[in-house]
Amino acid sequence: MSAIRIDGATRLFGIVGDPIAQVKSPELYCELFAAAGMNAVLVPLHVLPDAFDMAMPVLMGIENIDGLIVTVPYKARAARFARRLGPTASRIRAVNALRRETDGTWSGDMFDGAGFVHAAQRKEETLRGRKVALFGAGGAGSAIGCELAAAGVVSLCIIDPQRERATALAATLHDAFPSCRIEPADALPKSVDMIVNASTVGMRQGDGMPGEIGPLDPRTLVGDVIISTEPTPLIRHAMQHGCRYINGRDMLAGQSDALMAFFVRG
């Protein structure tokens, strides 16, 4: 591990979320910045919901802050703070990263979906042709749904306790990917061979699974965006049934190349 040094000239990146203590980005990106020879660190910034709208312009106005990662629950709310949005972000109106451009304005894009697809590729999993159930139609769910449709899954069933969120996301993605069968649902359909949790269920101790999930066929590929030291209930369920899986750490590693390119080019 490269040594971290902080001095007056250190450039800052932050990860904004609530809660924050569980995030793994600071360790990962501090290490990547140091390995790249940059005098930069990424620090956790615990911003509460009532403070978010005032905090974002202030943080973006601090001269030595060059980029922000945005995590739960702010991915959708953060999109409006970017002057320009990248392709995925503009489709789903959510960002997980913002950077200062050389002209001083800020751009945002969403790398959660790309990170998930990248992680699947690293693990040599096939996505094309899959029939997917996606739990969670928030920022991460939207991004992953978008990238899975782009990666050629044949169907995508979106489950969210806020049914209208699932319906809206299905409509957005249907317009963008007309050859993929995309629809909202209230519960896990029988015929899926891939299940992805992109909700926050599993983040808090004592959480169960994101929905009613029975025994799994071992060919079912399971994904979970939650980053934790212990396997989440869903990942544990997958392991018990001999399924292959992609967890939050896989996804974090999967998106680091794209995010580093985004941050360092700026």
The answer to whether 47 contacts a second copy (rule: CB under 8 A) is yes
List 65's β-bridge partners, or say none: 12
The answer to whether 42 contacts a second copy (rule: CB under 8 A) is yes
We find the least distance from the C-beta atom of residue 227 to a second copy, in angstroms, to be: 9
Distance, in Å, from the CA atom of 166 to the CA atom of 143, rounded to the nearest integer, reads 13
Task: Provide the pairing of β-strand 181-185 with 155-159.
Answer: parallel
Contact of 265 with 240, CB cutoff 8 Å: no
Phi, psi values for residue 262, rounded to 5°: -65, -45
First CA to last CA distance, the chain = 25
With a CB cutoff of 8 Å and minimum separation 6, the contacts of 55 are 16, 45, 47
The answer to whether 59 contacts a second copy (rule: CB under 8 A) is yes
Residue with Cβ nearer a second copy (46 or 122): 46
We find the least distance from the C-beta atom of residue 54 to a second copy, in angstroms, to be: 6
Out of 35, 49, 64, 87, name the contact with a second copy by CB under 8 A. Answer: 64
The answer to whether 45 contacts a second copy (rule: CB under 8 A) is yes
Per CB under 8 A, the segment of 42-50, 87-95, 141-149, 199-207 that binds a second copy is: 42-50
Per CB under 8 A, the segment of 9-17, 84-92, 140-148, 229-237 that binds a second copy is: 9-17
Residue type, 124: E
Residue with tokens 């950077």: 99
- The structure tokens listed for 190 are 């029988």
The answer to whether 166 contacts a second copy (rule: CB under 8 A) is no
* Contact residues: a second copy, CB under 8 A: 3-10, 12, 15, 18, 20-27, 30, 41-48, 51, 54-55, 57-59, 61-64
